[in-house]
Structure 1
């Protein structure tokens, strides 16, 4: 049986050996996040490598390290990196982020992990926890982010909307302060499901807040969504 990748304008994503498929969340964070200083990027929970490849395309001077704990996704990311024109600037490591201890810090940390949707104030259901190879709580992710981020760097995440306030609170306890927010709706009548958050070590007097609606109707995309993603999607 032939393998058909998900084709973007400058790279392909094979995803046949992992459950972590190309999705809107990854495309959004890869299109929206920015690097303002330096050239070192860390992608936590890279899956197939989609976000890393998008950032490699957007920022041609950057060096990108990616972390992926799931072995099948890790192997798929290697394949996608090696098949790309950006392969010299991409590395992927098969390790939990909790155990990742590089010798340098990063100018941008980005994450679209397959969150086990946990409120840090509530205990895990032990049966659900047993089905997880590992669990990554918001606290653990933000602990590591605060340790690995350069003083002038930024960190960007995509998370469920109903976890926003909790996430911002946990981050602030680690001296990471919100600087940009993008609220995402599927269409103008749908409820908020996702939010993109950018943090830095500097507290901003004014937080930049925007809202993005993806579709006007089924497969009819808004101008805002097209403008954000047109450098990647073939048909945008």
Structure 2
């Protein structure tokens, strides 16, 4: 049986009630996202609350963690209540497509469902977490364009094979890529994940690469530098 929780340096994330467990994608998103001068942050599909907690650790912003699955929302609430930043964090159980905040956000982040047109998982909770049949990139980008402040930033982690499609879709909502990080798991492999930041300003997209492992369990200096404030063993 896998460990029901994941211990970070300054907080603990329990994930036994969530379909999607703590993973590298979430850690990358939480560590890389630019939150400079952000007063309000929205985490779309927070799951365990991992990304929201990571952003809370390195900011003074008020953070809203939105989650459609009741079990995940409950667990995110429990994780946040046990954290040092609970007074400026809020979990909302609800559908992003129906969420109507009264204010705009300076930063929006998301680790969205991504297995488009893949073999479907029979477990309904896991299916909601991992497939985008009921929550598409169009839904996500449309909502972001409505909720993001004029000078705000939206950061998302997605599979590499749909990067261009997501960029094209974002363009339809006047969202343009400003930063891109290509994630390479081990030397010699092609990127499998990409981190993208979008803004309302057209500009040249700054693209970089990040190698995670030099060999099995031997992490690159770049990955250690990015995650050292969170992982116990970094």
Shift, 1:4, TM fit: 5.0
Aligned with residue 226 of structure 2, among 228, 232, 235: 228
Q: Does 1:43 align with 2:43?
A: yes
Unmatched segments (≥5 aa) in structure 1 = 119-123
Corresponding residue number in structure 1 for 2:150: 151
Corresponding residue number in structure 2 for 1:25: 25
- The alignment's TM-score, normalised by the length of structure 2, stands at 0.92
Give yes or no for contact 1:115–1:136 (8 Å, CA) kept in 2.
no
Moved more, 47-56 or 34-43: 34-43
Aligned CA distance change for structure 1 residues 188 and 148 (closer, same or farther; 3 Å): same
Shift, 1:224, TM fit: 0.3
Give CA-to-partner distance per residue, 1:70-104, whole Å, 9 cap, x none: 11111110010000001011111110100100100
* Structure 1 runs, 4 residues or longer, greater than 3 Å off: 127-134
Corresponding residue number in structure 1 for 2:178: 179
Cα distance between partner residues in 2 of 1:115 and 1:162: 11
Q: Does 1:97 align with 2:76?
A: no
Corresponding residue number in structure 1 for 2:210: 212
Moved more, 29-38 or 77-86: 29-38
Cα distance between partner residues in 1 of 2:85 and 2:193: 29
Cα distance between partner residues in 2 of 1:194 and 1:42: 22
Corresponding residue number in structure 2 for 1:121: none
Aligned alpha-carbon RMSD (Å): 2.1
Shift, 1:115, TM fit: 2.8
- The alignment's TM-score, normalised by the length of structure 1, stands at 0.91
Cα distance between partner residues in 1 of 2:134 and 2:88: 29
Corresponding residue number in structure 1 for 2:54: 54
Give CA-to-partner distance per residue, 1:174-198, whole Å, 9 cap, x none: 0000000000010112221100000
Unmatched segments (≥5 aa) in structure 2 = none
Cα distance between partner residues in 1 of 2:123 and 2:20: 20
Give CA-to-partner distance per residue, 1:196-215, whole Å, 9 cap, x none: 000000011x2111000100
